[in-house]
């Protein structure tokens, strides 16, 4: 091994260590910024070391690509809103998958004129292309659902499981031919089937499962990167891809357990499908829902001992986190204990609510996960729900016919008073009516979450 190769290996080892430290930092909000800095340093080191590789002879196109990517990335990062972060993540996963496909075909075409590639390389090309293709189109469909370009409800094709099975078996048959004979047409057809599978696998998955899907697609993108690393003989890409693949898979498992659902049931899809007829529970909700004015909620919160705030996607859409922070400070100045309750799948991606609250400088010690905070609801005077629909729905515990039955929820119904900030009577992303609205202790405060929270803060200041 030459001195240059030894230096490259050491640089890749250091970058891999920094990536691991970065991932470790992301496990807690207080260390997340440090974790991001580690990951950024790792990526800079990896790019710099790769550019110094002896095999790199010309830099014009590489530098043009780096400059173009830097400009686009900077513009997107400065303009993207936190509410659009889930679909941005899905789009980036799609790029990773597409890159894996392009690398696989590029390597094949580079080897084909000289000699028939060996079976190991052919296997790497096939796996990388297939996983990359599924990731690319699956992530694109997830982006479409999150961006409301496609319906958020499950789109169920007749006999879809049989169709999936036929496509998978056909793809494996083409893969066997490719491994034996190296026919490019087989790789091309298998990749086309994988592209179709990416679409067909994500379309039947409903909106309530989308946080798990985003995490699962993150895992797919990691495995696609790993396969690409084997193809290119790049050890760092293998390591980082495996880290992303395993961490995404573990996170998906944790989140699916938090919903009391299996990964298999989520991948099979159909969660949140509606039979098209109004249930008695939905009809009762339409007739018996109580509404309250901002002043009613302010009076009870201002005289409370403990208030628990539950943020959801409604808070993210309205960008109400800063108004909530102000409301929290006013309540605490009046001697009210305020806590935030976070469900594992609140929002549209893992950690969505934590990031938004951190952006508003809500102290970490006031933010509690579901298992920690659920026992506190029975002692709370007021639970304030800011657009968190499905994760507070008692149907998950009481209605066996409900699609969300069995999913652990935040037990807000146990609070003495529940105020739910909501734009309209539309159901949550899963399409399931919230039975919480029927309870005697629950009142809805209609309006934009940011406007309502600002009005509450103003009323509390006036009352003080």
Q: Which residue do the tokens 């880290």 mark?
A: 243
First to last CA, the chain: 74
Distance CA 390, CA 183 (A): 49
| 371 in catalytic set | no
Beta bridge partners of 420: 385, 444
Tokens for 317? 């859409």
| Contact indicator for 141, 213 with CB cutoff of 8 Å | no
CA distance 405 to 2: 61
**Alpha helices of 278-421 — where are they, by DSSP H?**
280-288, 294-302, 313-318, 321-333, 352-359, 370-373, 395-398
Q: For the chain, how many residues are written?
A: 464
Three-state DSSP class for residue 164: helix
**Under 8 Å CB-to-CB from 55, ≥6 apart: which residues?**
none
DSSP 393-407: -THHHH-TTSTTTT-
- Catalytic site residue from 390, 440, 448, 451: 390
The first and second tokens of residue 422, run together, are: 């909501």
Question: Within 52-159, where are the H helices?
Answer: 60-79, 85-111, 119-146
Task: Tell me which residue of 244, 243, 248 sits closest to 263, measured CA to CA.
Answer: 248
Structure token pair of residue 60: 């014009």
> DSSP string spanning 425-443?
S---TT----GGGGSTTEE
- Percentages of the chain per state (helix, strand, coil), in multiples of 5: 65, 5, 25
262, 263, 264, 269: CA torsion to nearest 10? 100
Sheet of strand 337-342: strand arrangement = 367-369, 337-342, 306-311, 382-386, 417-422, 442-446
Report d(CA 130, CA 138) in Å as an integer.
12
Q: Which of 343, 338, 351 is nearest to 308 (CA)?
A: 338
As annotated, the active-site residues are 390
């Amino acid at each position: 091994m030459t001195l240059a190769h030894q230096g490259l290996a050491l640089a890749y080892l250091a970058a891999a260590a920094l990536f691991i430290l970065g991932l470790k930092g992301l496990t807690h909000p207080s260390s997340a910024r440090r974790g991001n800095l580690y990951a950024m340093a790792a990526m800079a080191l990896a790019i710099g070391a790769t550019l110094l590789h002896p095999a790199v002879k010309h830099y014009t196109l590489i530098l043009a690509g780096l400059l173009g990517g830097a400009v686009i990335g900077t513009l997107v990062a400065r303009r993207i809103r936190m509410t659009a972060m889930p679909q941005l993540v899905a789009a980036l996963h799609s790029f990773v998958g597409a890159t894996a496909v392009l690398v696989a075909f590029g390597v094949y075409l580079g080897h084909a004129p000289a000699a028939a590639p060996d079976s190991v390389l052919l296997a790497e090309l096939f796996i990388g292309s297939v996983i990359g293709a599924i990731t690319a189109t699956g992530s694109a469909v997830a982006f479409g659902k999150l961006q409301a370009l496609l319906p958020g409800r499950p789109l169920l094709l007749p006999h879809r499981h049989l169709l999936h099975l036929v496509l998978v078996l056909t793809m494996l048959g083409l893969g066997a031919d490719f491994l034996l004979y190296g026919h490019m047409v087989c790789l091309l057809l298998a990749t086309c089937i994988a592209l179709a599978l990416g679409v067909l696998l994500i379309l039947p998955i409903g909106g309530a499962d989308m946080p798990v899907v985003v995490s699962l697609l993150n895992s797919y993108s990691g495995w696609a990167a790993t396969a690409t690393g084997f193809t290119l003989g790049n050890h760092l890409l293998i390591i980082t891809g495996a880290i992303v693949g395993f961490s995404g898979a573990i996170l998906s498992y944790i989140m699916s357990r938090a919903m009391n659902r299996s990964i298999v049931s989520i991948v099979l899809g159909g969660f949140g499908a509606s039979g098209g007829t109004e249930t008695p529970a939905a009809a009762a909700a339409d007739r018996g829902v109580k509404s309250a004015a901002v002043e009613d909620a302010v009076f009870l919160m201002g005289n409370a001992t403990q208030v628990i705030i539950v943020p959801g996607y409604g808070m993210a859409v309205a960008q109400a986190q800063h108004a909530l922070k102000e409301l929290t400070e006013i309540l605490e100045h009046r001697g009210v204990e305020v806590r935030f309750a976070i469900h594992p799948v609140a929002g549209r991606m893992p950690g969505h609510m934590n990031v938004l609250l951190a952006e508003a400088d809500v102290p970490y010690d006031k933010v509690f996960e579901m298992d920690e905070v659920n026992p506190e609801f029975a002692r709370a005077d007021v639970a304030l729900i800011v657009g968190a629909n499905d994760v507070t729905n008692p149907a998950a515990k009481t209605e066996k016919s409900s699609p969300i039955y069995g999913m652990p929820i935040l037990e807000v119904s146990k609070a003495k008073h529940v105020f739910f900030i909501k734009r309209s009577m539309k159901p949550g992303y899963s399409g399931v009516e919230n039975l919480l609205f029927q309870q005697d202790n629950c009142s809805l405060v209609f309006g934009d979450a940011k406007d309502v929270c600002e009005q509450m803060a103003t009323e509390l200041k006036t009352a003080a």
